[in-house]
Amino acid sequence: MKQPTLKTKEYDSEIFRKRIQKIQKKLSKGEILLLFAANHKIRNRDVEYKFRQNSDFYYLTGITEEDAIFILTSDTVGMFCLPKDKEKEIWTGIRLGKEKIKSMLGLDFTYDLTDWDKQKSAILIGNHTLYYFFGENPDRDRELLTECKTLSERAREGKFGPHRIEHPYFLHEERLIKSKDEIQILKNAAEITKFGHMRIMRESKPGMYEYELEALLEQEYLKYGSIGGGYGHIVASGKNACILHYVNNDDQLLDGELVLVDSGAEWKYYTADVTRVFPVGKRFTEPQKTIYEVVLYAQKNAIRHSVVGVPFNEVHEKTVRFLADCLREMGFLKGSLDEILEKETYKKFYMHRTGHYLGMDVHDVGRYYLDGKSRPLKDGQVVTVEPGLYFDPTDDSIPKEYRGIGIRIEDDILIHGKEPINLTESIPKEISEIEALKS
């Protein structure tokens, strides 16, 4: 099998300098943006989870060290970062240090993180608006609110601090539209993801366990330089596929059942998000084929409809209408189509949305509604398209041969004029392709 081509530059400071300049132009005098890097999270006792930088912080700086603080105003840009410390670096790795970071990004100032408490008043004073992602870190929220209150009490000195805190939506609006470099990274993430999905399609067999397939996915992702999955792998065999966010991954694969795998590799801080369904054994059963073909048809229609100018929610509404009509014609739902849609009885079988934004985060940032209306799709957006149907294994009103079937088919779609580009198109999803892999 052909090896994936993963050619992108390593750290390119020019990319991040340009992003900083672009965001800086959105700030007026008296406005300040603060971004905080992620910190290490404790898994248990003194063991930490694997570190992953905050997406917003990485997007603007490309810095992957913890606990740093990025400061941006209309005329200055700076950072507080971990100080150089030989003893600590022996244990946890070499730190960049303030001088190197200043040079890398062309910053106006850098301080050691240990200076933050001494400098934060001077940083905030004279700014009336603080742009900050409030609510992510309660301790940090309290610190900043206290500091703002303290500064407000210095009015008699002719000084002031922020009296308004706003969510920096403008940063997320920038992240919503992907550059050529970002699209290439997402293509590479998709290519790595393909190798994982195709391997488990080929190698799954009765008697294996879900966690064995999860291990194969992770092996393929890591082999090509990914940090692993961009979210928790869902490997759901049989009736587990009817649990939308099933992550136990500890059941045994049984002949005659299907496996639903929702997994995407993260590469260079961008993640793919793909769902495929395939038989444990060599062939789909007839009931499985019937439901699969309905979902596949719905997905292809939804992809075709994902074009510039179409309101994002319209893709979902048309998909719901199609699936509801199919369920009615097949006898799973009673009443007219309008009644089914009005009463939302289709949600017994289809209870989630048809897609979401994709990028650095699997459920990526950006507003879905503008002025109360569903946002039209634009060139450069990447979205998922993932319709599904799920048949409750405990529902006696459903014919026995359909109970426990869960089908979801998901691809990553780049909005590109009137011709959407499927970034994950090469991952097999036709029944004939999947069964050929199983032969």
Q: Which backbone phi and psi does 316 adopt, to 5 degrees?
A: -65, -45
Strand pairing partners for 413?
383, 422
In 3-state terms, what secondary structure has residue 274? strand
Give the sign of the dihedral formed by CA 284, CA 288, CA 293, CA 296: negative
Classify residue 135 as exposed, middle or buried by CB count within 10 Å of its CB (0-12, 13-18, 19+): exposed
CA–CA separation, 209 vs 56, rounded Å?
Answer: 37
Residue with tokens 């998000």: 273
66, 386, 411, 412: which is the annotated catalytic residue? 386
Q: How many C-beta neighbours within 10 Å does residue 176 have?
A: 18
> In whole angstroms, what is the distance from residue 357 CA to residue 121 CA?
37
Give every strand in the sheet of 270-271, ordered side by side.
228-229, 265-267, 270-271
| 419 is known as an active-site residue | no
Is 356 considered catalytic here? Answer: yes
The secondary element (H helix, E strand) that includes residue 312 is helix 312-329
Q: How far is the C-alpha of 273 from the C-alpha of 250, rounded, in Å?
A: 22
Q: Which of 363, 368, 379, 401 is catalytic?
A: 363
In order, the DSSP letters of 106-122 are T-SEEEEGGGHHHHHHH
Active site residue 46: yes
Q: Is 197 a catalytic residue?
A: no
Sort strands 274-279 and 258-263 into parallel, antiparallel or unpaired. antiparallel
β-pair partners for 234: 262
> Quick check: 149 and 117 in contact, CB under 8 A?
no
Residue 316 a catalytic site member: no
**Active site annotation includes 172:** no
| Distance from C-alpha of 348 to C-alpha of 395, rounded to nearest angstrom | 10
Note if 305 is an active site residue: no
Query: 182, 214, 262, 364: which is the annotated catalytic residue?
Result: 262
Active-site position among 245, 338, 367, 430: 245
255 is catalytic: no
Tell me whether residue 164 is one of the annotated catalytic residues.
Answer: no
283 in active site: no
Q: Output the CA–CA distances (angstroms, integers) from residue 392 to 184, 246, 328, 402, in the order listed.
A: 40, 14, 17, 9
From the candidates 212, 408, 411, 412, give the one annotated as an active-site residue: 408
Catalytic-residue membership of 67: no
Which of 95, 175, 276, 356 does the annotation list as catalytic? Answer: 356
The CA distance from 267 to 360, in Å, is 9
Are the beta carbons of 115 and 24 closer than 8 angstroms? no
Annotated catalytic residue within 128, 352, 353, 375:
352
Catalytic annotation, pick one of 220, 410, 411, 412: 410
Of 182, 191, 210, 273, which one is the catalytic site residue? 273
In this structure, the number of other CB atoms found within 10 A of the CB of residue 100 comes to 13
Tell how many helices (H) and how many strands (E) occur in the chain. Answer: 13, 21
Beta strand residue intervals within 163-273, DSSP E: 164-166, 228-229, 234-237, 258-263, 265-267, 270-271
What DSSP line would sit under 74-85, residue for residue?
Answer: SS-EEEEEPPP-
Please give the positions annotated as active site.
46, 245, 262, 273, 352, 356, 363, 386, 390, 408, 410
